[in-house]
Amino acid sequence: MKITPSVVLQNKAIHYKLTLKKTNNIESMEVLSRADYYHKDILEFEIKNNVIMFTYSMPHVGEFVLKLNYTYKESRIIALYCLDEKMIALKPLKGDLHMHSTYSDGRTTPFSMVLASLDAGMDFVSVTDHDTYKGSLNAIQKVKKNGIDILTLAGEEVSVGGKKDMSIAQGNGHILSINANRSIQDQRKDIDKYEKELEEISQSLKNEEIDKSIDTHHYAKNIWVINKIKEANGVSILAHPNWIYRDGKYHLHQAFYKEMLRSSHLDGVEAFGEEKVKEYNNMTHLTALQTINKHKYIAPFGNSDAHDSDHEIGDRFTIVFAKENSASGAITAIKEGLTCAVHKRENHEHQFIGKDDLAQYVYFLLKEYYPRHYTFKTRLAKLYVDQLINNESFERKINNVKKKLEEYTNDFYGIENL
């Protein structure tokens, strides 16, 4: 059973086509809102060549159920979703913004990590090696050279406390720099300039209403990193804030964590991240949820933090709602808080963290849209790998898969009806 479109605009008369193998013995059709308990309408329809056609205007935002009642057997249902004018104009993009390669402590090349991400169904990705920008630039260069169809963003995981922070926790934690136009670590090489800027930040913090227990000179390192990412037109995402490190302490001083959520210009926080700290993700969620930032809503993220191409990629990811599939589109959406963090659990169920309306929509998409989306993406990845291994062009096959994915997406969203 297939229906087009599956996602529609609120209060607009939409012409639906429902395709079945057999359309005989259908007694009636009705539409019900999952959210509005009292909503139910009986539909008028016509049947031509096993295609049921009807017109309906969805009155509420959210998920609907189309119910087919038969004269001789149980009813069948199919899900639909209704969006307002703002959300219908946005594209869902699935991605992962935290992983490592051989440029730091990863075990696979940056390009392999990107191909593995495509194979896991991602639309966008960033290789974020520890304190180096070079791995992500290598990935971007290889993706462009080989014509790989995945949005690849520059990235870097900054050890806020300094270079030794990878092995000796200093309480400052890690911050992801995404799509910045220069390396954050490289800007610390001028020690005199760095120390001067830290002192200026420290002095300014003393005039602000922050937690009095915080050592402003030490905390200034966190604000310096966030400021530098902002100056470089990137977005800053706080990585695994509840990670317990080798000494048994949180890698990030929790007073720093709460203060960054409350008063810094952070763009996001990793609600689902490193596999070793997944039991602490609920604390990350609660802390972020209960802390209101004075500047903006801080977007939640799910990232793999993968260190190998065959481990964890696809287990955690983020759905971003952007106006277009581009770096500027994704970054703008992140800054506007249009993200939903997702964790795929061992039983293949999903956990969601995001604004309620976004999380409900993502739940629908993971049921109804992303299974086939994944099939197309993983097929593309295998074709690209075969092309590289065999050193011959599979352009025709690749374009055919890309065309089918585009057609599937257009049908799902009823592009011609908008």
- Residues 171-213: tens digit of each pLDDT: 899 999 999 999 999 999 999 999 999 999 999 998 888 988 8
User: Long-range pairs for 397-400 at CB < 8 Å and ≥24 separation?
Assistant: 398/149
User: Does the pLDDT value for residue 376 go beyond 80?
Assistant: yes
Q: Is residue 331 a contact partner of residue 337, using CB atoms and an 8 Å limit?
A: no
* Per-residue pLDDT, 23: 81
The least confident of 152-161, 277-286, 370-379 is 277-286
Strands (E) located in 273-379: 299-302, 316-322, 339-344, 350-354
- Residues 59-116: tens digit of each pLDDT: 999 999 999 999 887 899 999 999 999 999 999 999 999 999 999 999 999 999 999 9
* Per-residue pLDDT, 22: 82
Mean pLDDT of 7-22: 94
Rounded distance between C-alpha atoms, residue 292 and residue 297, angstroms? 7
Token pair, residue 350, equals 């999903």
Mean pLDDT of 147-156: 98
Pick the more confident residue, 218 or 207. Answer: 218
Mean pLDDT of 152-157: 98
Pick the more confident residue, 347 or 418. Answer: 347
- Residues 302-313: tens digit of each pLDDT: 999 999 998 889
Mean pLDDT of 412-418: 73
Mean pLDDT of 212-216: 92
Question: What's the predicted TM-score (pTM) here?
Answer: 0.94
* Per-residue pLDDT, 245: 78
Q: How confident is residue 24, by pLDDT bands cut at 50, 70 and 90?
A: confident
* Per-residue pLDDT, 294: 94
Q: Is residue 297 a contact partner of residue 266, using CB atoms and an 8 Å limit?
A: no
Q: Is residue 67 a contact partner of residue 77, using CB atoms and an 8 Å limit?
A: yes
* Per-residue pLDDT, 417: 42
Burial 393-404 (b: 16+ CB within 10 A, else e): ebeeebeebeee
Mean pLDDT of the chain: 93
User: Does the pLDDT value for residue 168 go beyond 70?
Assistant: no
- Residues 394-409: tens digit of each pLDDT: 999 999 999 999 999 9
